[in-house]
Amino acid sequence: MTRKENKAEAPENSEEVICRAQRLAALRRIMQEESLTAVLINGRVHTLWLSGFSGTESYLLITPEEQYILTDSRYLEQATQQASKFELVDATSGHLPTTCNLINKLELTRLGMESAALSFGELIFIKENCPQVVPVPLGSELSNLRRIKDNLELQNLRQAFALADEGFRRTLSFIKAGRTEKEIAATLEYNMRMLGADGPSFTTIVASGTRGALPHGVATDKRIEPGEGITIDFGALYAGYHSDLTRTVFLGEPSAEMREIYETVLKAQLHCQTNLKAGMTGKEGDELARKVIEDAGYGRYFRHSTGHSLGLEVHESPSLSPNNPDSLPAGILITVEPGIYIPGLGGVRIEDTVILSEDGATSLTELPKELLILPT
């Protein structure tokens, strides 16, 4: 059953309405290029991006003239409020059967499908119940639409970074000898939530002492000891958007070797961030940081790419990577996060997220990066 009468109209001149209309227009240009009669969206990221609906189960069906959201009784009111520009279809009797009924009613044939989200079982069901449909997989065609963030996205991302920044500042005084990595991670996540975050962007990494050699060393019951480095990789989730940053701090005076490693990573991070700009290839951007670390003799201990884009997902394309020969467009967000990880000793990573332009890179975080030694 279609429920047009319950649609709550948002102000036509609001930023959100304008941005979502632009996103739908961009999708419809792809539909025209691919000669599609409609596009079926079921992934949560693109559902939120196109419609504003944040529920966990729905389908979007978008034609050249109309857009429908199909969901069940748990989410009908939510969809009415969040996806006001979509025609709401009650799919309580079954999401996929209701979607197929609508596909057949509209006599759709060449149907774009979200290849990264649609399961094999869903595809078989559609083919059996909509025999006239020719499925056309859409992958990068969709994700590329989200590379350049619009004004609404940038507002949400800036807030996500502000919450992460302040949450980290409030957590520093909690870091003492005897605290566990899990306690530090929990306190940081609590602080971000109390400031207004919807949650952490990802599982918070707190890796201390020799565990700092693990690039993805999620927090454990290990207790912090004086003199240890503590790498904290974290972010705040806000309105579906992720921030991502890393700082390495020391509890008490670090060893001379760890101080040298920190200064090397900081030099690499600053050199990359200062010289990175749109028009470079991802490989060239990666090389800005990697060469500094290699010249210092730590090249084999830099074990990952220099950066990645982010937004509604923590890891999006493009990347700063030795394997990326493509040019970086103006307007993208990308992390700059070199690191050195030495087994049996520890590690250091420093990460900011920047917006690229032809003139350079502008950081979204205001956290200082100089060596920080906390009192024990």
Identify whether the C-beta of residue 250 lies closer than 8 Å to the C-beta of residue 372.
yes
What angle separates helix 95-105 from helix 120-129, to the nearest 10 degrees? 40
Residue 227: strand, helix, or coil: coil
What residues have CB less than 8 Å from 282, skipping those under 6 apart?
Answer: 318, 319, 320, 321, 323, 324, 325, 326, 328
**pTM of the entire structure?**
0.92
- Hey, what are 79's tokens? 């969809």
Residue 302 CB burial class (10 angstroms; 0-12, 13-18, ≥19): buried
Residue 257's CB is within 10 A of a number of other CB atoms, namely 11
**CA gap 278, 361 in Å, rounded:** 8
Which residue in 24, 81, 239 sits closest to 153, CA to CA?
A: 239
Range with the poorest average pLDDT among 5-14, 148-157, 344-353: 5-14
What pLDDT is stored for residue 15 in this prediction?
A: 85
Identify whether the C-beta of residue 213 lies closer than 8 Å to the C-beta of residue 346.
yes
Rg of the chain over Cα atoms, rounded to whole angstroms, equals 23
Which residue in 244, 248, 246, 215 sits closest to 230, CA to CA?
A: 248
For 194-218, the pLDDT digits (tens) are: 999 999 999 999 999 999 999 999 9
Residue 232 φ then ψ, to 5°: -125, 115
**CA gap 317, 74 in Å, rounded:** 34
For 255-307, the pLDDT digits (tens) are: 999 999 999 999 999 999 999 999 999 999 999 999 999 999 999 999 999 99
What single-letter amino acid sits at 288?
A: L
Residue 195 φ then ψ, to 5°: -80, -15
What pLDDT is stored for residue 7 in this prediction?
A: 39
* pLDDT averaged over every residue in the chain: 95
Whether the pLDDT of residue 6 is over 90: the answer is: no
**CA gap 241, 253 in Å, rounded:** 36
What number is the average pLDDT over the span 340-357? 98
Whether the pLDDT of residue 97 is over 70: the answer is: yes
Which residue in 163, 240, 268, 251 sits closest to 206, CA to CA?
A: 251
For 61-71, the pLDDT digits (tens) are: 999 999 999 99
What pLDDT is stored for residue 8 in this prediction?
A: 40
What number is the average pLDDT over the span 175-186? 98
What pLDDT is stored for residue 4 in this prediction?
A: 43
Whether the pLDDT of residue 5 is over 80: the answer is: no
**CA gap 16, 49 in Å, rounded:** 11
Residue 108 φ then ψ, to 5°: -80, 145
Residue 207: strand, helix, or coil: strand
- Hey, what are 181's tokens? 């990595």
Whether the pLDDT of residue 118 is over 90: the answer is: yes
For 229-250, the pLDDT digits (tens) are: 999 999 999 999 999 999 999 9
- pLDDT band for 14, please (50, 70, 90 cuts): confident
Residue 303's CB is within 10 A of a number of other CB atoms, namely 12
Cα dihedral sign for 352, 355, 361, 363? Answer: negative
Residue 298's CB is within 10 A of a number of other CB atoms, namely 21
What number is the average pLDDT over the span 10-17? 66
What angle separates helix 44-51 from helix 15-33, to the nearest 10 degrees? 120
| Token pair 């009468």 in the structure block, residue | 5
**CA gap 85, 79 in Å, rounded:** 10
Whether the pLDDT of residue 315 is over 90: the answer is: yes
